[in-house]
Structure 1
Amino acid sequence: MFLVNTFVLVLCIGASFSDPIQSIVPCHKNDHACMTTSAKATLPIFATGFPDFGVESSDPLILNEIIGDLSTLKYKFTDTIVTGLKNCDVHDVKLNLDNSHLHYELTCKNVVMRGQYIIGGKLFVLPVEGKGAYEIHCKKYEFVIDADVKLVKGNDGTQHLAIKKYKFTSDAQEGIVYDFKNLFNGQKDLAETVLKFANQNWKEVANFVQEPAVVAVIKKITENLNKFLKIIPVDNLFSLVKKTPTMFLLKLCFAIICVTSIKAQPCNVYDQGCITRSANRAYAKIIAGIPSAGVKVLDPMYHEMIEGDLSVLKFKLTNSTVRGFKDCFLNNVKMDMNKMNTQIDMTCPWIQISGQYVINGRLIMLDVQGDGDYSMKSGRYRIGLDCDIKKVKCKDGKDHLKIKNFKSKYVAEERVEFDFKNLFNGNKLLGDTVLKFANGNWKEVSEFLQSPVMNAHIKKIMSNANKYFKTVPLENMITY
């Protein structure tokens, strides 16, 4: 990964500054500590992808097909999306050009794979078969990668570094949660038996089934890295003078500025894959914020007040803090410039909101009232957005995109935990009864309560999006 950082720095600084600055590169070729520091800082940037150079996003990482042909089990994963890789910790990075060898290690926590599956065979002693949606949540994985590298002559006549081949080891160090829908065509007793076995014996199951998936992930990341290396001469990768940490951080700042200012190649409006990848990169910026453009940071997100005026229940949430939107990703984005409409399918692995509340009325079937502190934390949420868009002229005289309005659909796909302090003015019996009902019927309660709260979140995101769109002409985003 540090090679990616080096490339971006050299390219950007070389294009923007004078010759003395061009000679500055992140690390001495024998400084492994610097290489590791560089890799740690670069991974979140690299993970967003750089389409101008043919480098796709690594988080979310999209894998069209994974084939598992094991001794007693065959499976196929399709339309797989992997999230969480940008949060991996890179360590022990070593590059030895004399021996043509690259070594690095990764510790990855809370990596999630989800998509569609077909499976058939035996999972150890248990028969298993099915077809449907799947999700695998890996709490902690360790990877050790060793690669052979070589020098190749590029189109520019200079030498470039390339990864020839690699080997790896992977080790699941903490629990893995397997969730496969529609096993045995929906036969609940058979499916639960297999899933219980898999989740209780997660280590053994991982060792048995993991290799095809891990191979696919590392192969994709290596392909992206090699695309970078085709562009930058190897002579520009290293400095003969060891640089200080302060100089490294300064150069990293230059790199970030340059990357965000590179003009991206627009997507054809009919290229749904390109549109979705581009939208994910834009979404990351919309959530992270761009202060110079008035784009606020939205994780954490703040609400002074959210009001819910439902049929039988009224509530106010004040001074609320929301976290989790930085980890959301767009599964699918469709644009129709004839109808001036955009359809967005979005997944948030978790969302948490806390603050103060006032509530009064009926929660489906129970009376409820109170005021105090509250928190709500959800697992996976699915968000569908149907947006009307229009073209507007900005100060640069060019057309820019603007979202006029949107319709939304929200589905809590995993448990939501409700915690409201001081219900019924501290009456524990009544308060515990309502909370037990809410947490025991989280899906129904979420459907009842969610619209005012989720709409408030999405409105802030849409406001940020429109400010972001003012910075990017439509012609730089799409062709149609």
Structure 2
Amino acid sequence: MSFLLLVLWAVFSSTESSNSLTASFIDPCVLTDSNCLRASAQKALPVVAAGIPSLGMESLDPMVMERVRAVQAGLRMDFRNTIVKGLRKCEVLDLRRFARKTEIDLKCSVVLIGDYTLGGQLLILPIEGDGKYKIKIRDIVVKVVLDIGEREAGGERYWTVSGFRHSVEVLGGVQFQFQNLFNGNRQMADPVLEFANSNWRQIFYDVAPPIVHTIVSHIVAETTKLFEKTPISELRRTTPYLKLVKTRVSKMIRVVCLLSLVLTANSASAPFIKPCNGDDSACIMSSAVSAVPFFVSGVPELGMKPLDPLSLPLIKSDQGGLKLTFKDSTLTGLKNCHLENIKHDSSKIKQTVIVKCNLVLTGDYDINGQLLILTTQGNGKYKIDIRDMVIKTTVDLTTVTGKDGKPHWHITKWNRSFKVLTGTTFDFENLFNGNKILAEPVLEFANTNWKDVMQEIAPPVVDAIVSEVVLAVEALYKSVPLDELHT
């Protein structure tokens, strides 16, 4: 994939001039001749992968990836000094050119070798390590669609990329090797490696989204700079073009390669969002599932802060004769929430989201009053463990004009409902100033009657959580125009 854009540029030029700088290894093709286009791209692929010093193009096989860092689904990843091999043997399955669109399908088998640091949760298993790694990926098929346009400025024509969509599928398999897991403890490392290689498909797709986000954002930025400043006419000349873009192309080449390994559908401003028709519930659900990890991890460039862990400075409640204050609270667990359903009502411009989560809330508390039938008083540290909480949130939307002059969604109001399916465990330290004779019956009562207690104390907590999530969604809508979210 690291040579994909270069191949595409060559094919763009090859239909018009046999004297272009790529003519030595690109066969000119008619726009509608898909067989010629595919064969021409296949012929160009190993030449581009090997590097063309006369054109300032570095070798792509082997290729060096300096660093990729990400946090996804509870797993912290840091890959350094990675060498990628196998790109020159990729197969061009298909290449299709249209007036405003180019599509290309590639199948590759690649090997990544380098240094790693891992920590956190690998699906259901804890993992920790630092050392050498090797990942072999067999028969990965990458399908890419580029939306191509043109603009005129200063008497010159420029290419524009108005959007792009991607999909990826691994047909053969993925094999993971991580040396020095758990500081070389084989009894702990071997089961984790066996689990990873037995469940390679789920692991591969679970850890991909943040890497995709980082790489695609860089590619979009670099490609946009290139096309904004370089006329189409200069993309067909050897000297002026190469002097201008040699550095940018070199940087872009380094990041596009890994994209082929982890690419998923995305839009231009928010690479983790796949635009969907309002009536296509399957597309909306799929796009939302892919986007959840980014909402949780946060997207600073879109004004979206991390949601797990989530800081809740102050939550107050005064109802039913019970005064309750939670201070400096931390909520964890949102990253593992399961999206149960999501709907978009185009006629009423409403969205409804249902999630099921296991949540843990910790911090400082101050309680005074009547907890159902028992008098309760205390202040200190607290912990609430909630299992299988289902939260349903409905937001009303309107359309506003953003700073970019384009229509954007804006949330006008929201409401929520919730229920806990499995159970809740309460732990309040220092009830009644540490008097266990008074405190223990209250705690036992609260944990036995958790459902009723939750109905009394949970609403302001749920409101605080939903409010933070709504702020993240509103930040997304403010940054990303409507046409990149909804078709």
TM-score range, shorter chain: 0.5 to 0.7
CA distance in 2, matches of 1:10, 1:352: 50
Three-state SS of the structure 2 residue aligned to 1:470 is helix
| 1:387 and 1:406 in contact (8 A); partners too | yes
1:467 maps to 475
The yes-or-no answer on 1:272 pairing with 2:255 is no
After superposition, where does 1:370-449 map in structure 2 within 5 Å? 370-449=378-457
1:337 maps to 346
CA distances 1:173-232 after superposition (whole Å, capped 9, x unpaired): 9xxxxxxxxxxxxxxxxxxxxxxxxxxxxxxxxx9xx99x9487479789999xx9xxx9
The letter of the residue matching 1:375 is: K
Q: How far is the alpha carbon of 1:339 from its aligned partner? A: 1.6
The letter of the residue matching 1:358 is: D
After superposition, where does 1:90-105 map in structure 2 within 5 Å? 97=86, 102=111
| 1:324 and 1:352 in contact (8 A); partners too | no
The yes-or-no answer on 1:319 pairing with 2:310 is no
> 1:89/1:415 Cα in 2 relative to 1: closer, same or farther (>3 Å)?
farther
> 1:29/1:344 Cα in 2 relative to 1: closer, same or farther (>3 Å)?
same
The yes-or-no answer on 1:299 pairing with 2:298 is no
CA distance in 2, matches of 1:145, 1:216: 13
After superposition, where does 1:33-432 map in structure 2 within 5 Å? 41=69, 44=71, 84=73, 97=86, 102=111, 148-149=138-139, 165-166=172-173, 214=199, 217=202, 261=269, 266-291=275-300, 293-354=302-363, 356-432=364-440
> 1:162/1:444 Cα in 2 relative to 1: closer, same or farther (>3 Å)?
closer
The letter of the residue matching 2:323 is: K
CA distance in 1, matches of 2:118, 2:299: 30
CA distance in 2, matches of 1:285, 1:220: 14
Q: Taking every aligned residue pair, what percent have the same amino acid on both sides?
A: 27
Q: How far is the alpha carbon of 1:271 from its aligned partner? A: 1.2
CA distance in 2, matches of 1:293, 1:106: 27
> 1:163/1:348 Cα in 2 relative to 1: closer, same or farther (>3 Å)?
closer
> 1:7/1:298 Cα in 2 relative to 1: closer, same or farther (>3 Å)?
farther
The letter of the residue matching 1:393 is: T
The letter of the residue matching 1:337 is: S
> 1:346/1:425 Cα in 2 relative to 1: closer, same or farther (>3 Å)?
same
> 1:10/1:431 Cα in 2 relative to 1: closer, same or farther (>3 Å)?
farther
| 2:75 and 2:121 in contact (8 A); partners too | no
CA distances 1:66-102 after superposition (whole Å, capped 9, x unpaired): xxxxxxxxxxxxxxxxxx4866898999866499674
Three-state SS of the structure 2 residue aligned to 1:396 is coil
Which residues of structure 1 form unaligned runs of 5+? 12-18, 48-83, 113-136, 174-206, 233-246
> 1:309/1:23 Cα in 2 relative to 1: closer, same or farther (>3 Å)?
farther
CA distance in 2, matches of 1:222, 1:452: 34
CA distance in 2, matches of 1:332, 1:438: 31
TM-score of the superposed pair, with normalisation by structure 1: 0.53
| 2:362 and 2:381 in contact (8 A); partners too | no
> 1:431/1:219 Cα in 2 relative to 1: closer, same or farther (>3 Å)?
closer
Three-state SS of the structure 1 residue aligned to 2:430 is coil
The letter of the residue matching 1:303 is: L
> 1:89/1:387 Cα in 2 relative to 1: closer, same or farther (>3 Å)?
same
CA distance in 2, matches of 1:305, 1:155: 47
The letter of the residue matching 2:277 is: N
| 1:9 and 1:252 in contact (8 A); partners too | no
Three-state SS of the structure 2 residue aligned to 1:350 is strand
Q: How far is the alpha carbon of 1:377 from its aligned partner? A: 2.9
| 1:276 and 1:331 in contact (8 A); partners too | no
Flag the structure with larger Rg: 2
Which residues of structure 2 form unaligned runs of 5+? 8-51, 90-108, 147-167, 182-193, 220-249, 260-265
Q: How far is the alpha carbon of 1:269 from its aligned partner? A: 0.7
CA distance in 2, matches of 1:277, 1:299: 22
Three-state SS of the structure 1 residue aligned to 2:405 is coil
| 1:147 and 1:164 in contact (8 A); partners too | no
CA distance in 1, matches of 2:118, 2:300: 32
| 1:380 and 1:412 in contact (8 A); partners too | yes
CA distance in 2, matches of 1:389, 1:150: 40
Three-state SS of the structure 2 residue aligned to 1:422 is coil
The letter of the residue matching 2:355 is: M
CA distance in 1, matches of 2:475, 2:60: 41
TM-score of the superposed pair, with normalisation by structure 2: 0.53
CA distance in 1, matches of 2:4, 2:313: 40
> 1:368/1:260 Cα in 2 relative to 1: closer, same or farther (>3 Å)?
farther
CA distances 1:132-169 after superposition (whole Å, capped 9, x unpaired): xxxxx666799x986545999x999xxxx996634769
> 1:214/1:306 Cα in 2 relative to 1: closer, same or farther (>3 Å)?
same
After superposition, where does 1:1-20 map in structure 2 within 5 Å? none
Q: How far is the alpha carbon of 1:338 from its aligned partner? A: 0.5
1:61 maps to none
Q: How far is the alpha carbon of 1:272 from its aligned partner? A: 1.4
Three-state SS of the structure 2 residue aligned to 1:390 is strand
The letter of the residue matching 1:380 is: D
CA distances 1:107-140 after superposition (whole Å, capped 9, x unpaired): 997566xxxxxxxxxxxxxxxxxxxxxxxx6667
> 1:106/1:221 Cα in 2 relative to 1: closer, same or farther (>3 Å)?
farther
Aligned counterpart for 2:485 among listed residues 468, 471, 477: 477
| 1:424 and 1:430 in contact (8 A); partners too | yes
CA distance in 1, matches of 2:372, 2:122: 36
| 2:274 and 2:287 in contact (8 A); partners too | no
The letter of the residue matching 2:418 is: Y
CA distance in 2, matches of 1:364, 1:8: 65
Three-state SS of the structure 1 residue aligned to 2:479 is coil
> 1:398/1:361 Cα in 2 relative to 1: closer, same or farther (>3 Å)?
same
